[in-house]
Amino acid sequence: MAEVGGKEETKEVEIPDTVPVLPVRDIVIFPYMILPLFVGRDISIKAIDHALNTNRMVLLLAQKDLNVETPAVDDLYLMGTVCMIMRMLKLPDGRVKILVQGLNKARVSGFTQQEPFFMADIEKVSEEKPAETSIENEALIRNVKEQMDKVVGLGKTVLPDVMVVIENIEDPGRLADLVTANLGLKTDQAQEILEMSDPVRRLKRVGEILSREVQLLTIQQKIQTEARGEIDKTQREYFLREQLKAIQRELGDIDERAEEAREFKKKIEDAKMPEKVMKEAEKQLKRIEKMHPDSAEAGTIRTYLEWLTEIPWSKGTKDQLDIQKAEKVLNDDHYDLEKVKERILEYLSVRKLKEKMKGPILCFIGPPGVGKTSLGRSIARALGREFVRMSLGGVRDEAEIRGHRRTYVGALPGRIIQGIKQAGTNNPVFMLDEIDKIGSDFRGDPSSALLEVLDPEQNNSFSDHYLAVPFDLSNVMFITTGNLADTIPGPLRDRMEILYLSGYTEEEKLHIAKKYLVPKQLDEHGISTKILQIGESAVRQIISQYTREAGVRNLEREIANLCRKVAKLVAEGKTGTFVMTGKNVHKYLGVPKFLPEEEMKVNEVGVATGLAWTEAGGDVIYVEATMMKGKGNLTLTGQLGDVMKESAQAALSYIKSRAAELGLSEDTFSGIDLHIHVPAGAIPKDGPSAGITMGTSIASALTGRAVRKDVAMTGEVTLRGRVLPIGGLKEKALAAKRMGIKTVIIPRRNKKDLDDLPKYVKEGMTFVVVDTMDEVLKNALVAKRAAKAGAPKRKSSGKNDRKAIKTGATLRSTKRSKVTHATPADRRIKASRRNKKKV
């Protein structure tokens, strides 16, 4: 470190014109400085020796490049400081330590010798006289001193003695030199200062360098503080946590927590999760370890970890793909349903050949109680897979499928992941019920989430919002079910293969009851056939008087009801065998819920029998028309939809246009009001296919001719009396059959659908194919004006009989089956409101 000599007499020393040169590295010496130097280079030692032998003076020249070991003339700056060697010490290693004091700046005018050491002719460079100590100078001096203080304040090491000297210097040149010598500048920068002979300019330059230094140091300090802050924080936390642990150890709950962590660790290992999920689980476990065990967040994470570890990430059953066995299982569990079974077996066969099948999703469509769910169960049983079932009815929120994000209070995974957890394996048969009742509103569109679930291209990384890690659903076998196909959102329907299951006839129900339902219910109630025998007549009675349905769900329920009643009697101590027959079932089941069909078979004026298509299968509806004095108004009641109302108008207009042919006078209409009512008022009804039924009831009411009760009809009517085709013929025909109706009037364009009807439905039924409303009236109305009641014997005209197709005899019968892959749906029936009767 440079020190200050600063004695006045140094100025008086005579400096010779030629002096030995001492090249120095990495340092620039200013006048008045005293500093020690270690000298090792030969060339330098020789110069020192020479100086010591003469006037002890050397010129110290800074070397431009400190790496040059043996400098030439060009490697040295030409301006330096002449110094006096004050002391010299030879060190044992051959080096020399000298103490020098700067005397005066000097410039080399020429080198007189380069070997064995440099000698140079010099010109003394004297300090320019500073201008009068102006205010500016003073400000400059003060500024540099302040900056120097700052620099020291920011951590630069400068000896306190030096600081005292700096404090007291009033000469700008010496101040500049001293500051420069103590700042540890680079050689070229220090040399630049040295070469300035104007002290004020020099000080200004030093001021600039200082302010840059202040900036640099400030930033440096900031960085350091931040880094230290970070370290402090972690250290603090560490200490606190250690303290907490100590407290917990003291309180005894550390063991519990450690135990919990251990348990989770084991669960995570056991769950055999994919790498990514495992990482997430471990991350969450670490988090929970750091938290207070009773905090709300720890609770949330715990639930999450439980979910993560309980999901069957890699647990699956091995498929048994024995097609013969599968066929046996399906047959054991279900009566008939040949086509569906066949399709299922095909599906399983393909699966056998190609493990990762990206085939379509099966979708069973049909009324309730026809065996959709139990088919799904059988498939699972045949494959040896788990079976889970989830209803989508009323699901409007996407989050129900995909779950809520964990940030929500009480968030849980969506139904899909819940189902998987419930199944306990990653490849169950997963049945999604009521896919036709999925809704969408502002809470998002669940069907698009469902698309991702069902799409084999995407579902190998299904992301549930709650889990936030993907789950592979591609091994799951999804089966969907619903009552109607046309309310299933289009994109979903595209991915599915729809298999239709229509309802059963009485005979089939009888079979199903005898072979499946009765044994099943007896078994479930722990009743043997020695205690209860349910005869065929009893079952028939239940079918016709206690149930009115396409499927067999209520039938099964009533059989269960019988079993319960008998079980109670047995529990009460009654013994013997209970034999159920058609005569005594009502004792157990109570008053019949439905009237026997015969009682309703009376021809009436103004009441026509129509056929409706509901999601519970087909149904029979009665359209009533009556007229009264009035002004030609038409009233429609019975919760009719717009399409149906318009259809009634059209039917009326057509009847008006045929007034003459029907034997009505022109002014019949102006003096009356007509009222059409479709009973079962609570059920909304819509669709155009009641057109001909309404037309018939109007014509009947106006003409007074009764409508044949044994004739049911379905068809849309146009203004000009043409009869247009309708949808759901199969369901409608089944409903007619259930009600014991023998003749059904259908539009000609539905004739082709008759091929799809199973033989047993067509048996004993006559389908009358018509083109016009006139033909409908001819077939449906009793020939003459008749009394309001009574069933007159009527012979149908030969012409119409020719149009009637005696089924079974003339129609090519198709193999008995209840499945078609495409219902001849009436495309114009767009009314898709649920629970509607489509008529």
Main-chain phi, psi angles of 213, to 5 degrees: -60, -40
H-only helix segments in 101-196:
135-153, 160-168, 172-183, 187-194
Q: Which residues bind ligand ADP (CB under 6 A)?
A: 334-337, 368-374, 512, 516, 551-553, 556
Closest distance to ligand ADP from the beta carbon of 517 (Å): 6
Closest distance to ligand ADP from the beta carbon of 556 (Å): 5
Closest distance to ligand ADP from the beta carbon of 470 (Å): 31
**By the 8 A CB rule, do 811 and 764 touch?**
no
Q: How far apart are CA 606 and CA 584, in angstroms?
A: 38
Pick from 540, 550, 548, 538: which is nearest to 587 by CA? 538
Show the tokens assigned to 611.
């056929």
Q: How far apart are CA 778 and CA 783, in angstroms?
A: 8
Pick from 530, 541, 512: which is nearest to 566 by CA? 530
Closer of 37 and 337 to ligand ADP (Cβ)? 337
Which DSSP string do the residues of 339-383 spell out, in sequence order? HHHHHHHHHHHHHHH-SS---PEEEEE-STTSSHHHHHHHHHHHH
* Total residue count of the chain as it appears in this document: 839
Extended strands (E) in 560-606 = 578-580, 604-605
Closest distance to ligand ADP from the beta carbon of 508 (Å): 8
* Annotation marks residue 689 as catalytic: yes
Closest distance to ligand ADP from the beta carbon of 737 (Å): 17
Helix, strand or coil, per DSSP, at residue 126: coil
The one-letter amino acid at 324 = Q
Mapped to the 3 state alphabet, what secondary structure does 70-82 carry? Answer: CCCHHHECCEEEE
Closest distance to ligand ADP from the beta carbon of 273 (Å): 35
Exposure on the CB side of residue 166, measured as CA atoms within 13 A: 26
Extended strands (E) in 13-74 = 18-24, 33-39, 57-62
The one-letter amino acid at 572 = E
Closer of 111 and 335 to ligand ADP (Cβ)? 335
Main-chain phi, psi angles of 542, to 5 degrees: -65, -45
Q: State the helix-helix crossing angle for 172-183 and 187-194, rounded to 10 degrees.
A: 170
Closest distance to ligand ADP from the beta carbon of 449 (Å): 23
For the stretch 104-122, what's the b/e string if a residue is b when 16 or more beta carbons lie within 10 angstroms of its beta carbon?
Answer: bbbbbeeeeeeeebbbbeb
* Annotation marks residue 732 as catalytic: yes
The catalytic position among 732, 762, 836, 837 is 732
Hey, how many other C-beta atoms are within 10 angstroms of the C-beta on 135?
Answer: 7
Pick from 99, 82, 86: which is nearest to 14 by CA? 82
The catalytic position among 378, 502, 689, 697 is 689
Closer of 334 and 493 to ligand ADP (Cβ)? 334
**By the 8 A CB rule, do 127 and 64 touch?**
no
Preceding peptide of 367 cis, ω within 30°: no
Q: How far apart are CA 753 and CA 726, in angstroms?
A: 10
Pairing between β-strand 685-686 and β-strand 837-838 as defined by DSSP bridges: parallel
Which DSSP string do the residues of 597-633 spell out, in sequence order? GGGG---EETEEEEEEEETTEEEEEEEEEEEEESSS-
Catalytic residues: 689, 732
